[in-house]
A and B are shown apart, each in its own frame.
Chain A
Amino acid sequence: MIQDLVVYLLFIGYAIGFMLGLATLFTWVERKQSAVMADRIGANRCYIRIPFTNVRLVAWGLFHGIADGAKMLLKENFTPHTYDRFCYNLAPWLAAAPVLLVFSVVPFGGTVTPGRLLPQLHAFFGERSYLMQVASLDAGILVVLSLSGIGILGTMLAGWSSNNKFSLLGAARAASQMISYEVAMGLALISLVVTYGTLDLNGMVTRQSGLLLGFLPAWGIFMQPLAFLLFLTAAIAENKRVPFDLPECESELVAGYFTEYTAMKMGLFMLSEFIEIVVVSALLVTMFLGGYNLPYLSAGGFVLPGGASWALPHLAVVLLQVGTFAAKVILAGCFQIQVRWSLPRFRYDQLMGFGWKFLLPLAALNLVVTACVRWWTL
Chain B
Amino acid sequence: MRKDYWNKPEMGLWERLYIFEVIRGLCITGSVFLGNMWKWLTFRKGALTAYYPEELRSDYSPNNRGRHVLTQRDNGQVQCVSCNMCATVCPAYAIEILSTANFADPCHPKAPERFEIDYSRCIFCGFCVEACPEDAIRMVKEVPDFPGFDRDRMWAGMDLLMNWRPMRDPAKHYPTPQAPLREVPE
Contact = CB atoms under 8 A, between A and B. Distances in A.
Contacts of A229: 19
A37 B51 contact: no
B26 interface: yes
B49 A40 contact: yes
B47 interface: yes
A262 to B, nearest CB: 24
A338 B26 contact: yes
A347 to B, nearest CB: 12
Contacts of B36: 36-37, 39
B47 A342 contact: no
A39 B33 contact: no
Contacts of A358: 18
A36 B37 contact: yes
Interface in A163-220: none
Contact of B29 (A41, A44, A338): A338
Contacts of A338: 26, 29-30, 33
Contacts of A9: none
A33 B33 contact: yes
B32 A37 contact: yes
A249 to B, nearest CB: 19
A35 B47 contact: yes
B33 A41 contact: no
A11 interface: no
A343 interface: yes
A323 to B, nearest CB: 21
Interface string A319-354: 000000000000000000011011100000000000
A37 B29 contact: yes
Contacts of B48: 39-40
Contacts of B22: 343
Interface string A264-290: 000000000000000000000000000
Contact of A39 (B19, B28, B30, B46): B46
Contact of B33 (A37, A339, A343): A37
B91 interface: no
B41 to A, nearest CB: 11
A341 B36 CA distance: 15
A41 B98 CA distance: 45
A339 B29 CA distance: 9
Nearest to B28: A342
A139 to B, nearest CB: 31
A90 B32 CA distance: 43
Nearest to B40: A36
Contacts of A35: 47
B19 A36 contact: no
Nearest to B33: A37
Nearest to B37: A36
Contacts of A41: 47, 49, 51
A338 B51 CA distance: 24
Contacts of A36: 33, 36-37, 40, 46-47
B26 A342 contact: yes
Interface string B20-56: 0010011011101100110010000011110100000
B32 A39 contact: yes
Contacts of B32: 37-39
Given A338-B30, A339-B26, A44 B51 contact: yes
Nearest to A341: B29
Interface of A: 33, 35-41, 44, 229, 338-339, 341-343, 358
11 contacts: A33-B33, A36-B36, A37-B36, A38-B32, A39-B46, A39-B47, A41-B47, A41-B51, A339-B26, A343-B22, A358-B18
Interface of B: 18-19, 22, 25-26, 28-30, 32-33, 36-37, 40, 46-49, 51
Given A44-B51, A342-B26, A343-B26, 18 more contacts: A33-B33, A36-B33, A36-B37, A37-B32, A38-B32, A39-B32, A39-B46, A39-B48, A40-B47, A40-B48, A40-B49, A41-B49, A229-B19, A338-B29, A338-B30, A343-B22, A343-B25, A358-B18
Q: Which A-B residue pairs are the 4 nearest by beta carbons?
A: A342-B29, A39-B48, A37-B33, A36-B36
